[in-house]
Amino acid sequence: MKTHRLVLPEDLNQFGFLFGGRLLSWVDEASWIAASLDYPNCQFVTIGMEAVSFKHSVREGTILAIESERVREGRTSATYQVKVTRGRESEGAVIFSTHVSFVNVDDDGQKQALKHS
């Protein structure tokens, strides 16, 4: 799944670059949406983000492409590879990449088996 975000003034840190926490939030949200679309009968919570590394700085007005792809499926969890690139470039340099893992939980917050539709 691919989505895009526009970097606005409220997304910047005190030095005028994209705040890392904002990007992490977007990555978490985009990968959660991908997981929820892949498993519509599941209730996912984030359980981990691996090897977070910011490779390039980002300025206001930049359009970012956030692409999430499922790379692992367990009994109760799924993991997505997420890549962030500049959205106007067809094969732009990777600005950020990570793996985000989700676990399916019941109404009490206990993990449960994935439900395939």
Instruction: Identify the domain containing residue 22 by its residue range.
Output: 2-104
What does the radius of gyration of the chain's CA atoms come to, in whole angstroms? 15
Q: Is 117 part of any domain?
A: no
In a domain, 111, yes or no: no
Mean pLDDT of 2-23: 97
Place of tokens 């790379």: 71
SS (H, E, C) the chain: CEEEEECCHHHECCCCEECHHHHHHHHHHHHHHHHHHHCCCCCEEEEEEEEEEECCCCECCCEEEEEEEEEEECCCEEEEEEEEEECCCCCCCEEEEEEEEEEEECCCCCECCCCCC
CATH value at residue 51? 3.10.129.10
Residue 114 inside a domain? The answer is no
pLDDT of 51-84, one tens digit each? 888 999 999 999 999 999 999 999 999 999 999 9
CA 34 centroid distance within chain: 9
| Angstrom distance (rounded) from CA 82 to CA 103 | 17
In a domain, 21, yes or no: yes
- Residue 115 inside a domain? The answer is no
Give yes or no for residue 98 having a pLDDT over 70: yes
**Closest by Cα among 79, 78, 75, 80 to 112:** 75
Domain assignment of residue 112, yes or no? no
Asked, for residue 116, whether it belongs to a domain, the answer is no
Q: What is the pTM of this model?
A: 0.93
**Position 44 in a domain:** yes
pLDDT tier at 91 (50, 70, 90 boundaries)? low
Give the total number of structural domains in the chain: 1
